[in-house]
Amino acid sequence: MATASIISNHGTVTLPEPLPLDGGQRLEGVEIAYEAYGTLNPARDNAIFVAHATTGDQHVASPHPITGKPGWWDRMVGPGKPIDTTRFYVLSANVLGGCMGSTGPGSLAADGRPYAMRFPVITIRDMVRAHVALLKELGIERLHAIVGGSMGGMQALSLAANWPDMADRVLAIASTATMAAQNIAFQEVGRQAIMADPDWQEGNYYGTGKAPDAGLSVARMAAHITYLSEESLTGKFGRRLQDRDAKSFGFDADFQVESYLRHQGLSFTGRFDANSYLYITRAMSYFDLEEEQGGRLAEAFARTHAKFCVISFDTDWLYPTPQSRKLVHALNAAGAPVSFVELAAPFGHDSFLLDVPALDRVVKGFLEQ
């Protein structure tokens, strides 16, 4: 039996004004692709914006148009789910720089050719600026909440810092206010893997019949390890062999974990644009709310009246709990109401996407309070 789509609205909005960017440029004709579930109430005060992570998109709770897999937060968003679409109007949009309908390096520039590396380097704040403009076009002046995990959490924090009246509630999961050196390092490895692939062609691979799939696949493999905990890798795969009784004494994927990673890398190339990966990870490495506010993180939250909820996971070593704690201290210093919890979950950073009932309860409770 086919499940009825829960999408209530979707489309692509062309922003009427050029989008000013942190890098100093103004981007004309920006398109932002969005998807929504539920109904905006007459008071227009029940909208929740779900901000996606690095390689996510607007298909939060609908099948992915390329892979056909359930939306990336299907377990969290829907009727009766923690982010309840019978109660809230839930909206998500592909980030600026992305490759799922919003303007990015694969989009056509004014000269009719893809931007490729002519696309300006963007920041997390630029992504949020585009989303704020989208919301305005959709007639939403104020959000009941903005919610996001990982890079989605950064967008939520950036919104609170830069558009302090825009959201009444800010929920940042497995995230950080400042990208740390280790994260910058992993992001750089991914970019170097892509740019080392001759098929990248300095970014001008569109229409050539070639794309830096090998490099993008390696980038994804390296990143994917960081999304999981050591214990989840051990529990899920350990040293078990893949479809064989003994080691091959060769370079095939003897181990299940090798086979799994190769699959993660290869399947990613079918749904993601390598240049978008460069731009989005660049935006993440640039993210530092503390620097943006002249070195005092608390300043970022001095002007907002939003309530905050910060969630970390004990096995997340990519955005470990001390980074959330630092954020919470800044919120405390700013006098912002904040609840903070470190949840126990075995899955590492990816816990925000997986079956963690305690997460469901915290999210639901915060949004409905």
Does residue 75 touch a second copy according to CB under 8 A?
A: no
Decide: residue 25, CB within 10 A, 0-12 exposed, 13-18 middle, 19+ buried.
middle
**Binder among 69, 113, 247, 305 for a second copy (CB under 8 A):** 247
Does residue 15 touch a second copy according to CB under 8 A?
A: no
Judged by beta carbon, residue 84 or residue 213, the one nearer a second copy is 213
**Binder among 265, 292, 300, 331 for a second copy (CB under 8 A):** 265
| Choices 47-55, 105-113, 235-243, 303-311; region in contact with a second copy by CB under 8 A | 235-243
Torsion angle of the four alpha carbons 15, 118, 91, 54, in this order, in degrees rounded to the nearest 10: -170
Judged by beta carbon, residue 162 or residue 217, the one nearer a second copy is 217
Site for a second copy in 191-230 (CB under 8 A): 191-193, 195-198, 214-215, 217-218, 221-222, 225, 228, 230
| Choices 9-17, 143-151, 261-269, 293-301; region in contact with a second copy by CB under 8 A | 261-269
Phi, psi at residue 171, to the nearest 5°?
A: -120, 115
- Catalytic residue, from 316, 324, 350, 351: name it: 316
- Catalytic residue, from 150, 217, 324, 351: name it: 150
Phi, psi at residue 327, to the nearest 5°?
A: -60, -45
Minimum distance, C-beta of residue 221 to a second copy, in the bound complex (Å): 5
Establish whether 175 is a catalytic residue: no
Minimum distance, C-beta of residue 187 to a second copy, in the bound complex (Å): 9
Q: How many residues bind a second copy (CB under 8 A)?
A: 59
Judged by beta carbon, residue 44 or residue 282, the one nearer a second copy is 282
Farthest-apart Cα atoms in the chain, separation: 66
Residue 21 CA to chain centroid, in angstroms? 19
**Binder among 85, 178, 269, 293 for a second copy (CB under 8 A):** 178
| Choices 27-35, 85-93, 114-122, 153-161; region in contact with a second copy by CB under 8 A | 114-122
Residue 9 identity (one-letter amino acid): N
| Choices 113-121, 155-163, 293-301, 334-342; region in contact with a second copy by CB under 8 A | 113-121
Judged by beta carbon, residue 262 or residue 364, the one nearer a second copy is 262
Judged by beta carbon, residue 257 or residue 331, the one nearer a second copy is 257
Under 8 Å between Cβ of 300 and 161: yes
Establish whether 150 is a catalytic residue: yes
Does residue 20 touch a second copy according to CB under 8 A?
A: no
Judged by beta carbon, residue 108 or residue 185, the one nearer a second copy is 185
213-227 vs 274-286: helix axis angle to the nearest 10?
40
Establish whether 8 is a catalytic residue: no
Q: What are the residue numbers of the active site?
A: 150, 316, 349
Enumerate binding residues for a second copy (CB under 8 A). 22-24, 117, 120-121, 178-182, 184-186, 188-189, 191-193, 195-198, 214-215, 217-218, 221-222, 225, 228, 230, 233-234, 236-239, 247-251, 253-255, 257-258, 261-262, 265, 278, 282, 285-286, 288, 291, 317, 320
